[in-house]
Amino acid sequence: VDEGKKRWPIAGVYEDGWASIAAQCCTIGNEGVDPESCRRTKDGITTSTDQCVAGLSVDGRIEELTYGQAKAKCTDAGLAMCRQSCAFKGCAYNKHPVYTSIPCPSSPPPSPPSSDLPSIPTGGVLVYRGDSEESVGCLMPDVDEGKKRWPIAGVYEDGWASIAAQCC
């Protein structure tokens, strides 16, 4: 249902109320238990545009990724989607919502995947603010699959922030 979502509404942060959802990854096995497992860059060290999972956020602009694209970037780097916030771990993603692998509180019925990329899990996944474990919303399968940005009013010029990838 949400497989194509790349942006999310976050009032009061970005001008138009929408923010691009950032991707962050964590080391496998430590996705939700160790803040040191967070990787907003492919190597976990640098913040160069080439190494940031969704590119370095400049004026709120990052590469817009769907959940499936973010998960594939984590997997390709030998990492996993995080079950935690990776606040203050680089790439200027703190003002972006971020993808997680945390299931949403309630689960809709399963839907068939719409592409070759990994799908949003059946119960959906939470998107966190980049600077905390505050949930800004939930991405749902077959609704948000293409979503790459999240609405966050008052922070970026167009009010949308790309969702950054962080892999664990």
152: confidence class by pLDDT, cuts 50, 70, 90:
low
Q: How many residues does the chain have?
A: 168
Task: For residue range 67-81, list pLDDT tens digits in order.
Answer: 999 999 999 989 999
Q: Do the Cβ atoms of 55 and 90 come closer than 8 Å?
A: no
Task: Say what the pTM is.
Answer: 0.58
* pLDDT score of 2 more than 90: no
Tell me the average pLDDT of the chain: 77
CA distances from 167 to 24, 31, 56, 141 (A): 5, 8, 15, 20
∠7-11-13 over CA atoms, to 5°? 85
CA distances from 119 to 33, 67, 86 (A): 24, 7, 22
57-87 exposure pattern, b = at least 16 Cβ within 10 A, e = fewer:
beebbbbbbbbbbbbbbbeebebbbbbbbbb
